[in-house]
Structure 1
Amino acid sequence: MMGSQPTTSVPLRSLLFHMTDISLSVRPVGWDSDIQTSDPYTLLIVTNGIGSLHTSDTTVLLKTDKCYLLPPGRSYRTFNGFDSSLRYYQLAFAAVHIADQRTTETYTGSLFSGRLEMTAYPFSRLIRLAEELYDAKDSDGDIESMNRHIRFQELIRFLLEHNLEFSGHANSTQAVESTIRYMRNNYMHSITVKQLAEMARVPYYQYTPIFQELTGKKPLDYLTELRINRSKELLVHSDEPLREIAGRVGFADEYYFNRRFRQTTGVTPKQYAKYMKHNTRVRDWTGHEVDIPAQPKRIIYFGETFGDLLALGVDAIGGNLSWKSRTFFKDRVRNVQDVGNPINPDKLMELKPDLIIFACSDEKQYTKISKIAPTVTFNSFAPLDQRLLTLGHLLGKRREAEKWLDTYNNKAAVVWQQLRSVIEPGETASVFVFDHGNRLFVMGASGLSSVLYHPHGFQPVDKIRDLLDAGLGFAEITERHLPAYTGDHIFMLLPGNAESKVAMEQLMESALWRSLPPVRNGRVYCVEAAKWNFGDALTREKLLDALPRLLLANS
């Protein structure tokens, strides 16, 4: 580290760093934390999603593949107001200053000139280190603790290497980031890679690899994308001639602009402008901006909440139908074509869809199928009202979505009021199922549990509340952890798989099972998983009719 100038108020070599805690948070859309205080240092490493970090004097955008350091004593809160879950590691560590051989003290000063956002290149290495620390957080042996400490020192060294100031200039990654910001603000001007490398004071041969690591694109491809995206806005919202639009976004002439636009989008600028008069642009669950038909007619829905579409009166032409034979509304989907799981691209092309709704965050699959038709990702584990309103927006059925939700919510309120004789306010419930052999799962935001948890109905225990807050549909648990997930009532889903059924029967004959309070109190309900463990709108509505019979029969 020759030539480095530490930004701490004491020599860097006099500081020792010690990790005190690490956690992994997955926060759903709309989540807002309580005000917290960073004590000691707090490092946030964002691996997915977009959110915001609010302190007493500033607000910072939290983004995927970014990390943020809060000094001790800083009050802050985090918020996810965007349209996908926010996932991040939260790492706490202390710094100890060794003033001399006999004097040590806790250090609480700034490490990096008061900056909140840190730089890390490649970011994948930082994520790997965080994953290893998190996986080993419960290891309590001496050797394991030493290995964890060594791994943490590697992480700290990695951050120091990329964030200490060198000779008054930011390091290479920060310098390249500054040129990216320059491109966003000056895309309309003439820009070359040589010029950008000189601005960053980074050797030409190093500039492009760093740029690609940060953006996933080569510099000129990134610049073209900026220009094309801005031109799309102008084509839709202005009546300027093509040559004027080309000049405003940085293209030398309209002919080159026309060629690059077609290479990028597959259509000419004029075709795009005409097309957008009958289309709308949306931002999907995982952040893609997609132009979709205002009134799609040939819809493929790839997800487990197919009943959501039927509730809105929408008939899809295709979907993944592994569940078809088990659902009570199978007669309503008899003409729906199975596109496979994973999706068969050839089958998609054969069906000629004008919209694909993809309830999955698999970016590799998305890249393949989005070339066939406009494709939007969709969170099928989101709350019912959020799912239906999103589909209403995508399909031009917002009024239908609002009307259905009003009817359902009124019906749910009546049902839970009727059940007051058998359910006390605040009583909890848990849903368990064996699947994939002898693996035990607790249900969270999906399936049967999604109808049980209601302001006037059952409540989740704390462990399940954590799953709901994280937007997780389910989680695998061990039998020894069963008591921590058990509420006042148990709903045991009966599996269809023979091996899973044997595992369930063995559990229900065990001393552990007999010791659970709801088992002793006769509050266990067994229902068929294949029939009732769905969380779509139609199944939820049907469950409201079945619940009183089920609960009253056991009372």
Structure 2
Amino acid sequence: MDYLTDLRINRAKRYLAETEERLRDIALKVGYSDEFYFSRKFKKEVGVSPSDFAKNFKKRIVACSTSVTGHLLALNVMPAAAPLDPKWTPYYYNAYRTQIKSHLKLTDPYTSRPFDANLDEMVRIRPDAIIGTDQLRPSVKAKLMDMATTFFVPTENVGWRDQLRMIARFLDKEDQAELWIQRYEQRVRSAREQLDAVLGNDSILILRIYGQSIHAYWNRGLKDVFHRDLKLKLAFRSESSYNVPLALEQLAELNPDRILLVVCPEASSRAYWLALQHTAAWRQLKAVRNRHVYLITSDPWFEYSAVSIFRMLDEAMLLFTGNCPNALLDSIHGDS
């Protein structure tokens, strides 16, 4: 029944967002004969009424960064414009490129292009609100404030939960933020039990190959999911983000039970990875001998938002247990 409810609510969202059909007709299309029961069920599952969802969905809100897009989607807000790129933001590009009507150019940290390159397009959109981060340059912030009501999310020393709550307060969607956080915490408790049974006391090391070198890698998202929430045993950890070069001898000393590995897409990085696999030092590592090396990509592991954190949790479950729960973000936003 939960699965069927997910199907119905998900399809109802599509109708509410993309058509002008009456509520009664949408209820019938998704399998509810009583539109009033449908409305109550929708509000219980989503946090807002169907009419409020449709109204908020169609507001012209511009997201100035990928992380802001991830927060907005967690609040059931589809931005009218957001940075999208098939290479660097494949999840958002593939899932939402038809629903996000205006595709902004990807800027720092993905490319060296300044955000100013998007200003003309944003003027054309005539947004109702603009949400960016406090990392935008003061001159850019001033121009955005002239266009529409703005909110700049603080990034330093502010966790994703508080960032989500701040954006929710700006958009008057606090209930949706708390619902998302509550569901995430429930998923964490379930994941922790399952992972304890599989991993036991295994140590985990996250590595990044760039060029001709190996780096121990750590960022805010990994810290939140692996250390704070899942409480996994880490072979190398710091309180701050890092990208520390490691010699093969140092890697042998750490000798983790499991390795998560990011190989940068440059040709030199890929070539080094191919060569590394044939070296005795690599093949003698415990994780390699036990076939516990997991290749991961920058998406979602390098982003920091409510959606990316949830996706990291599900990815960890899939990597370590072979099972992935029906992702909350898929049952809310995607086609089931």
**Relative contact order higher in (CA < 8 Å, ≥ 6 apart):** 2
Determine whether 1:420 maps to 2:196. yes
Given residue 288 of structure 2, which amino acid in structure 1 is its aligned partner?
V
Determine whether 1:320 maps to 2:320. no
Residues 411, 503 of structure 1: alpha-carbon distance in 2 compared, 3 angstrom cutoff: same
Residue pairs, 1:43-58, within 5 angstroms: none
Partner of 1:298 in structure 2? Answer: 60
Residue pairs, 1:44-443, within 5 angstroms: 297-305=59-67, 306-322=69-85, 326-327=90-91, 330-336=94-100, 337-340=102-105, 341=107, 342-343=114-115, 344-359=118-133, 361-364=135-138, 365-379=140-154, 382-424=158-200, 427-435=202-210, 437-438=211-212, 441-443=215-217
Partner of 1:538 in structure 2? Answer: 307
Residues 455, 533 of structure 1: alpha-carbon distance in 2 compared, 3 angstrom cutoff: closer
Residues 530, 523 of structure 1: alpha-carbon distance in 2 compared, 3 angstrom cutoff: same
Partner of 2:239 in structure 1? Answer: 466
Given the two structures, how large is their TM-score scaled by the length of structure 1? Answer: 0.39
C-alpha distance in 2 between matches for 1:334 and 1:535? 23
Secondary structure of 1:466's match? Answer: coil
C-alpha distance in 1 between matches for 2:216 and 2:149? 35
C-alpha distance in 2 between matches for 1:358 and 1:487? 39
- Report % sequence identity: 22
How far off is 1:545 after superposition? 3.8
Structure 1 unmatched runs, 5+: 1-294
Residues 376, 440 of structure 1: alpha-carbon distance in 2 compared, 3 angstrom cutoff: farther
Tell whether the 8 Å contact from 1:417 to 1:456 is kept in structure 2 after alignment: no
C-alpha distance in 2 between matches for 1:416 and 1:458? 9
C-alpha distance in 1 between matches for 2:207 and 2:134? 24
C-alpha distance in 2 between matches for 1:486 and 1:355? 50
Given residue 526 of structure 1, which amino acid in structure 2 is its aligned partner?
L
Partner of 2:273 in structure 1? Answer: 504
C-alpha distance in 2 between matches for 1:368 and 1:510? 54
Which protein is richer in helix relative to its size? Answer: 2
What root-mean-square deviation, in Å, do the aligned CA atoms of Structure 1 and Structure 2 show? 3.5
Select the structure of larger CA radius of gyration: 1
Residue pairs, 1:20-35, within 5 angstroms: none
Given residue 208 of structure 2, which amino acid in structure 1 is its aligned partner?
V
Tell whether the 8 Å contact from 2:82 to 2:103 is kept in structure 1 after alignment: yes
Secondary structure of 2:147's match? Answer: coil
Given the two structures, how large is their TM-score scaled by the length of structure 2? Answer: 0.61
Tell whether the 8 Å contact from 1:357 to 1:377 is kept in structure 2 after alignment: yes
Residues 434, 318 of structure 1: alpha-carbon distance in 2 compared, 3 angstrom cutoff: farther
Runs of 4+ in 1 over 6 A off after TM superposition: none
Tell whether the 8 Å contact from 2:85 to 2:93 is kept in structure 1 after alignment: no
C-alpha distance in 2 between matches for 1:485 and 1:298? 50
Count of aligned pairs = 251
Residues 511, 447 of structure 1: alpha-carbon distance in 2 compared, 3 angstrom cutoff: farther
Residues 351, 459 of structure 1: alpha-carbon distance in 2 compared, 3 angstrom cutoff: farther
